Structure 1
């Protein structure tokens, strides 16, 4: 069996008290920094440690990732992408398609409303993703059903495949 997992996480709670900052530049609040660490610890306890992290390049998403990284052993490589700041399904599909076959679990950090839409697109389930919520998705395939294991992530999106929502990890 070939197993692939996605941790679809909304960034932690951000600060709104600095009106001179652009939306893209908003940092995390103190609570957001704590929540990101809490969720990372819970992911590790559940055995959901990413092999790679891909995040929006917005300040609050970057800071969420930076708070989480020390909990993962080994720390996965991180890529910050502008396309995940205001993204659609095509952006997420492209991101997944470009993943290496060695990646079994990927952490994607981004924003609403896109993340709730992506969750619905992948699973067919409507769920609310509040700040610092991480949806745990998985998919198991028989090796014989995958034409090219070097490009394993390439075709793992709807309508060809429907992901399973295993849990939503929250900081509380």
Structure 2
């Protein structure tokens, strides 16, 4: 069985004066949320033998905060294809994961990550999938499991086993709080 964990970058600063979207940094709430999610990942004893990330500044900064809470280095390969990628492009990236990897982490952006979950997990009476469909907030993690190889992953073949939003860990990190 393979496990794919999807991490959306933490909340970034829209009011930051940067010339390109690619260079947008995290804001204070995003840094807090990412560190908390990292601590939660440590308590869940999540481990990854392969990781790929968007090279955008907000993803790099999310990883730094995740790692500080997680207590270990993730050191993903940076892949420009992940930056603002569609679900189809993200699936192509996943199809290229090494066969020997059993637990992989993909760190990127919405709407691609949300669309990927909704594509891979069949629609049905699944409260976790419903929560993703409602909203895949910044710094949230979704964990999917499926049988077969990475190249076998296709529409409706995965089970969503975990969906954790920062507000699930600390209500002050929810949408109504600064």
TM class by smaller structure: 0.7 to 0.9
Please name the residue that 1:30 is paired with. Answer: 28
Aligned to 2:126: none
Deviations 1:24-71 (CA, angstroms, capped at 9, x unpaired): 100001221121111111122123222222111111011111222345
> Which structure exhibits the higher relative contact order, with contacts defined as CA atoms closer than 8 Å and separated by 6 or more residues?
1
CA RMSD in angstroms, aligned pairs only = 2.0
Structure 1 pair 20–71 and aligned structure 2 pair: CA distance change class (3 A): closer
In structure 2, do the counterparts of structure 1 residues 99 and 31 end up closer, same or farther at CA, with 3 Å as the change threshold? same
Structure 2: gaps (5+ residues):
123-128, 171-178
In the comparison of the two structures, how many residue pairs are matched? Answer: 158
Q: TM-score, normalized by length of structure 1?
A: 0.81
Would you tell me which structure has more strand in proportion to its own residues?
A: 1
Of 146, 159, 163, 2:158 maps to 163
Alignment of 1:9-158 (within 5 A): 9-72=7-70, 75-124=73-122, 125-126=129-130, 127=132, 128-139=135-146, 141=147, 152-158=149-155
TM-score, scaled to structure 2: 0.79
Contact 1:42-1:169 within 8 A present in 2 as well: no
Q: Is the 8 A contact 1:51 1:76 kept in 2?
A: no
Whole-angstrom CA distance in 1 between matches of 2:105 and 2:152: 18
Q: Which runs of 5+ in 1 are unaligned?
A: 147-151
